Structure 1
Amino acid sequence: MIDHSLLHPTMTDADVPEGLRISKKYGVATACVSQELQGSGVLVCPVIGFPHGNSTTEVKVFEANQAAAAGGKEIDMVANIGKVLRGEWAYVAEEIRQINDVVVRHGAILKVIFENDYLEEEHVIRLCEICSDIGVALQPNGLYTYKGATVRHLQLMREHSKPEVQVKAAGGIRTLDDLLHVMSLGVTRIGVTATVAIMEAAVTRGITDQPTEVEFKPISGPSTGGY
Structure 2
Amino acid sequence: MQLNQFIDHTLLKPTATPEDIESLCKEAIAHQFIAVCIPPSYLKHAKSVLKDSNVKLATVIGFPLGAMTTEAKVFEAKDALANGADEIDMVINIGMLKGGEANYVENEIAEIKKAIGSKILKVIIETCYLTDAEKEAACEAALNANADFVKTSTGFGTGGATFEDVDLMKRIAGDKMQIKASGGIKDRETAIKYLELGVSRLGTSSGIKLVTSEEN
Q: Is TM (by shorter chain) over 0.5?
A: yes
- CA distance in 2 between partners of 1:78 and 1:13 (Å): 24
Q: C-alpha offsets along residues 50-102 of structure 1, whole Å, 9 cap, x if unaligned?
A: 11101100000001111122221110110001111111112111111100111
Cα offsets for 1:8-42 (capped at 9, x unmatched): 12222221111111111111111142111101010
In the alignment, which residue of structure 2 is the partner of 1:198? Answer: 210
Q: How does 1:1-227 map to 2 (within 5 A)?
A: 1-31=6-36, 32=38, 33-104=46-117, 107-143=118-154, 144-201=156-213, 204-205=214-215
What's the secondary structure of 1:14's corresponding residue?
helix
Distance in 2, matches of 1:90 and 1:132, equals 12
The TM-score with structure 1 as length reference comes to 0.86
Q: CA RMSD in A?
A: 1.2
Give 5+ residue unaligned stretches, structure 1: 206-214, 216-227
1:169 is displaced (CA, Å) by 0.5
Structure 1 or 2: more helix by fraction: 2
Q: Radius of gyration: which is bigger?
A: 1
How many pairs align?
A: 202
Query: 1:162: Cα distance to partner?
Result: 3.5
Q: Distance in 2 between matches of 1:57 and 1:134?
A: 14
> Normalization by structure 2: what TM-score?
0.90
| SS of alignment partner, residue 147 of structure 2 | coil
Superposition misfits of 4+ residues, deviation over 4 angstroms:
none
8 Å contact from structure 1 (residues 27, 42) kept in 2: yes
Describe the SS at the equivalent of 1:46: strand
SS where residue 173 of structure 2 aligns?
Answer: coil
User: Percent same amino acid among aligned pairs?
Assistant: 35
Contact residue 132 and residue 162 of structure 1 kept, 8 A: no
- Shifted more, 7-16 versus 167-176: the winner is 7-16
Deviation of residue 176 (structure 1)? 0.7
AA paired with 1:198? L
